[in-house]
Amino acid sequence: MRRLVLVVGGLLASGVAAHVGAQDANIMLPAARVEALLREGPIKPVANEGSRYHGDRTEHVLLSFDDTTTFEVKWAVSAPGGEAFNNQPRYETAAYLLQKLFLDERDYVVPPTALRMLPQAAFIEGLRGERTFADDPYVLVALQYWTADVTSDGVFDKKRAERDSVYARHLGDLNILTYLIRQRDANKGNVLIATDSTRPRLFAVDNGVAFESQPSNRGTDWQYMRVSRVSAATAARLRTITEANLVQALAVVAQFERRGSDYAPAALGESLDKKRGVRRTATALQLGLTSSEIEGVQARLRSLLKDIDRGKIKTF
């Protein structure tokens, strides 16, 4: 995948800029740091390299923050009203948060992802930014850390999974996540693998067609369990997930306080409407999964554990 490289204030700004606490070559900052900056940091788009494909709705953008931290993101503007087919910011964030219930940070398969309400004035030339709600000059944007040193080639390799237990573990973790969220878009660029063969991390970087979404026209391979074995450690973590855990993690994935025509990040509260994913009042904007969508995750989790218990999916 291409990289943005330019000088900003004397600093070489790219995905490989030096950062304290770097995780690895794919995600070079601690996830909590990235999340905090994406949610409420002094965000400033610096350069836009455009989308991966002609006509793609997402952009590849370099962001700069006041403390000179810079990194690249996938920038995805919401559809009017906050949701549409293949444009579900709440699904993108829910996928990121769900993995935290059974994966450690070093094994995350969804890069750090957060939602942000940005004023149209923050958009640089070339970035699309139509207001999300007709009565507010703000735009809901899904921001996701742009993974480095990855490729879409060789993602799913059954023979490699049989002989390479490290790859098999990462592939199993990825597939568990795509199965639990019912990822229904098998577009080749949506799932990536690290180019470092000694640490073959896998990533699901586009999860807008998931949960209760209609399927895409590019296949639904990743909504199923495609692997025959998964990590025993991961399986043990899955057994600890309760309905309460799922509700707490997914019912509200982002919340903003409305101040006149402005929005500010706010603490997550109780779901304002369990039947709707985008909830808006005179004083708040809240996004999360509906009770039906959460029940779907729970049902798939039960089914997966049943398959593990009866040996249909083995552990190692």
Instruction: Evaluate whether residue 204 is within a structural domain.
Output: yes
Q: Which amino acid is at 29?
A: L
- E strands present in the chain: 6-8, 11-13, 44-50, 58-64, 70-77, 113-119, 138-145, 150-151, 191-194, 202-204, 229-230, 254-259, 262-265, 278-280, 284-287, 314-315
Torsion of CA 127, 130, 135, 138, to 10 degrees: -20
Instruction: Evaluate whether residue 271 is within a structural domain.
Output: no
Nearest to 197 by CA among 231, 160, 234: 160
Identify the weakest region by mean pLDDT among 64-68, 97-101, 102-106, 140-144: 64-68
Summary mean pLDDT of the chain: 91
Instruction: Evaluate whether residue 88 is within a structural domain.
Output: no
How high is the pLDDT of residue 216?
A: 95
Nearest to 194 by CA among 146, 147, 145, 149: 149
Q: Take residue 233 and report the two structure tokens written for it.
A: 């450690």
Instruction: Evaluate whether residue 247 is within a structural domain.
Output: no
How high is the pLDDT of residue 55?
A: 52
For the residues 153-169, what does the mean pLDDT come to?
98
Residue 174's domain spans which residues?
A: 150-241+296-315
Q: Take residue 240 and report the two structure tokens written for it.
A: 């600890």
Distances in Å between the Cα of 66 and the Cα atoms of 144, 169, 227 are 19, 38, 44
Contact residues for 302 (Cβ-Cβ < 8 A; gap 6+):
none
More confident residue, 128 or 195: 195
Instruction: Evaluate whether residue 207 is within a structural domain.
Output: yes
Structural contact between residues 266 and 284, judged by C-beta atoms closer than 8 angstroms: yes
Structural contact between residues 176 and 222, judged by C-beta atoms closer than 8 angstroms: no
Q: Is the pLDDT of residue 154 over 90?
A: yes
What band does 18 get if pLDDT is binned at 50, 70 and 90? very low
Identify the weakest region by mean pLDDT among 49-58, 183-192, 195-204, 286-295: 49-58
pTM for this one?
Answer: 0.92
Q: Is the pLDDT of residue 108 over 60?
A: yes
Q: CA 189 to CA 233: how far, in whole Å?
A: 28
Sign of CA dihedral 163, 164, 169, 171: negative
Q: Burial code of 194-224, b = ≥16 C-beta within 10 A, e = fewer?
A: bbeeeebbbbbbbbbbbbebeebeeeeebbe
Instruction: Evaluate whether residue 60 is within a structural domain.
Output: no
Nearest to 116 by CA among 35, 183, 9: 35
Nearest to 308 by CA among 228, 241, 226, 240: 228
User: How many domains does one find in the chain?
Assistant: 1
How high is the pLDDT of residue 67?
A: 74
Instruction: Evaluate whether residue 64 is within a structural domain.
Output: no
Residues forming a β-bridge with 70: 64
Q: Is the pLDDT of residue 49 over 90?
A: no
72-95 confidence digits (pLDDT tens): 999 999 999 999 999 999 999 999
* Phi and psi, residue 187, nearest 5°: -50, 130
Instruction: Evaluate whether residue 66 is within a structural domain.
Output: no
Identify the weakest region by mean pLDDT among 14-28, 119-133, 189-203: 14-28
